[in-house]
Amino acid sequence: MSRTVHCVKLNKEAEGLERITYPGEMGKKIYDNVSKEAWQQWLQHQTMLINEYRLNPLDAKTRTFIEEEMQKFFFEDGEAALPPDFKPES
């Protein structure tokens, strides 16, 4: 049986995550407030950030940056910023 959450990103009731996908308080907050669909959107956005900025996920500064962007993406007004030279595939 799946669980539902009121997704803060999509502003609707939707299927929730099956497990905590990120460590710490942020992970708990995401688990309680973010849907599977929105999490998939984040994973795509995160991949784009890593690729465009050529980030190393093992670097502590990168992890801090990613967590700040995750906070913006899910819990702050508006979208997380796109890199200045980003050109989406058409």
> At 18, which CATH number?
1.10.3880.10
Instruction: State how far the Cα of 29 lies from the Cα of 5, in Å rounded to an integer.
Output: 11
| Torsion sign (Cα): 64, 68, 73, 79 | negative
pLDDT at 85: 74
Instruction: Give pLDDT, residue 29.
Output: 97
DSSP summary character for residue 76 = S
Would residue 85 count as lying in a domain? Answer: no
Could you tell me if residue 90 is inside a domain?
Answer: no
Looking at residue 2, what is its pLDDT? 86
- Domain, as residue range, for 31: 4-75
Residue 87 is assigned to a structural domain of this protein: no
Report residue 5 as tokens. Answer: 């959450």
DSSP secondary structure letter of residue 83: P
Residue spans of the chain under pLDDT 50: none
Looking at residue 65, what is its pLDDT?
94
pTM: 0.86
What domain count does the chain have?
1
- Per-residue pLDDT, 84: 73
